[in-house]
Amino acid sequence: MKKYALVVLVAMMASCMSVKQIGKVNMISNRNIESKADYVPIRNYMGGSKKELKRLKAASLEQAIDNVVRNTPGGEFLKNVKIYIINNKYFAVEGDIWGFEGNGNMKGFKVGDMVQWKDVGQTFTGTIVDLKNEKRATVKDSGGKLREVKYSEMLKVTE
């Protein structure tokens, strides 16, 4: 019984995540920013939930920034940024993503592309309406139903 209690205690402590904010900055980027470009806000408070912090953490600050910015199609840089250290080992960032809306492209797909995919042996076609994240897009099928489809399962089609 004591062994069981010890295992449960260790498992509970291992699942805990220590998150500490270590700084705030107005803007941060790993890319060159064009001073004359017309950037627009794309998403607010990206990377801030506990689930996102855990998923987007990285061994370096540079990689943590890339993880958040690349997760949003068209994203170029972050504004109003909070920087966190997780378990005194990993970095994570949270902030508003700015970039070129409408110029977004993810894995070669963009909003408005006609695509085809298979699900449970059945073939579907539809139009991409949102590039959700780095793994999935929201597609409106020919019946008008919205579905989340992995980029790896889609093929572009021509009408």
Per-residue pLDDT of 120-153, as tens digits, reads: 888 999 998 888 777 888 999 988 999 999 988 9
Report the pLDDT value the prediction gives residue 15, as an integer from 0 to 100. Answer: 57
Distance CA 78, CA 68 (A): 9
pTM: 0.63
Report the pLDDT value the prediction gives residue 68, as an integer from 0 to 100. Answer: 87
Greater confidence (140 vs 33) lies with 140
Please state, as a whole number, how many other Cβ atoms lie within 10 Å of the Cβ of residue 99: 21
Fold of 114-156: SH3 type barrels. (2.30.30)
Report CA-CA distances (Å) from 145 to 33, 58, 139, 142: 39, 36, 8, 7
Domain ranges of the chain: 17-99, 114-156
Nearest to 148 by CA among 68, 158, 156, 134: 134
* Residues linked to residue 19 through DSSP beta bridges, in sequence order: 86
Report the pLDDT value the prediction gives residue 4, as an integer from 0 to 100. Answer: 56
Residue 11 predicted with pLDDT over 50: no
**Which residue is it, tokens 């062994």?**
3
pLDDT, the chain, mean: 83
Least reliable range by pLDDT among 12-21, 68-77, 87-96: 12-21
